[in-house]
């Protein structure tokens, strides 16, 4: 399983700011190893952020996103103490889901 994400959620003035650092190598499939062979593609394809039962962010990534991608955004409606769930799925079917509490 992949390393945990770092998820921060801070509510201020009715707006919740989310910052997510995802641990993933994000291989494009175009890089060669020391032997000259292509390193197989392995990258996050989809990310979803949920607040309660509502999806507040849905994004699709491709192979050109850098290693350990960072996503930051804001939404209205979050309250201190609510949970945020961040989930990603990569092109090999691996999945990671982590939670944070809005501060």
pTM comes to 0.91
**How many domains does one find in the chain?**
1
- pLDDT, tens digit, for every residue of 33-49? 999 999 999 999 999 99
- Residue 76 in domain: yes
- Residue 50 in domain: yes
What pLDDT is recorded for position 19? Answer: 98
Contact status, residue 62 vs residue 43, Cβ threshold 8 Å: yes
Q: Where are the beta strands (DSSP E) in 22-94?
A: 44-51, 54-60, 70-76, 83-90
CATH number assigned to the domain comprising residue 88: 2.60.40.10
- Residue 1 in domain: no
What stretches of 1-103 show up as alpha helix (H) in DSSP?
A: none
Q: What is the extent of the structural domain holding 33?
A: 6-101
- pLDDT, tens digit, for every residue of 66-83? 999 999 999 999 999 999
Number of Cβ within 10 Å of residue 100's Cβ equals 20
């Amino acid at each position: 399983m992949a390393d945990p994400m770092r998820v921060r959620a801070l509510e201020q003035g009715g707006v919740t700011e989310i910052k997510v650092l995802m641990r993933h190598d994000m291989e494009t499939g175009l890089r060669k190893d020391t032997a000259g062979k292509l390193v197989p593609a392995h990258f996050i394809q989809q990310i979803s952020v949920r607040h309660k039962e509502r999806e507040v962010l849905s994004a699709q990534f491709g192979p050109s996103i850098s290693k350990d991608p960072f996503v930051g955004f804001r939404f209205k409606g979050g309250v201190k103490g609510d949970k945020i769930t961040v989930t990603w799925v990569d092109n090999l079917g691996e999945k990671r889901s982590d939670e944070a509490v809005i501060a």
